[in-house]
Amino acid sequence: MSPTIDVRTEVRKLADRKPVQAAAGAGMLATEALRELPGRFARRAEDTAGALSSRATGAVHTARARAAAGYDKLAQRGKRALSGDTPDGRGALNGKTTHPRTAKAAR
């Protein structure tokens, strides 16, 4: 007889791990950034090449510092996403809308 694997239990175990939460948070943050991208391109089209070079160097340094400091923040965001506690109420695991009371009761 083969052992039965409870998929929901295994998914919950994975969802409670900080690296998974950070990855989910990074995905949500990337989605939000991509939504703002067309507006950024329109503003940057007016910049000159020299200004862009110096801004790019500064952006690299800023990105490194923010990446080092933002890991915990991404993990918290991912934890909310995996638990279905997002502004639109959609869970990251199944994309379905969950009712806030139902999601809290299931925890």
45-58 pLDDT tens trace: 666 666 777 888 88
pLDDT of residue 1: 46
pLDDT of residue 90: 61
* Whether the predicted pLDDT of 89 surpasses 70: no
93 domain-assigned: yes
pLDDT of residue 6: 83
- Could you tell me what percent of the chain has a pLDDT over 90? 0
* Whether the predicted pLDDT of 44 surpasses 60: yes
2 domain-assigned: no
22 domain-assigned: yes
65 domain-assigned: yes
1 domain-assigned: no
End-to-end CA distance of the chain: 32
**Average pLDDT of every residue of the chain:** 75
| C-alpha span between 61 and 69 (Å, rounded) | 13
| C-alpha span between 51 and 38 (Å, rounded) | 20
pLDDT of residue 40: 78
* Whether the predicted pLDDT of 41 surpasses 70: yes
Q: Bridge partners of 65?
A: none
**Residue 96 domain boundaries:** 7-106
The tally of domains found in the chain comes to: 1
* Whether the predicted pLDDT of 21 surpasses 60: yes
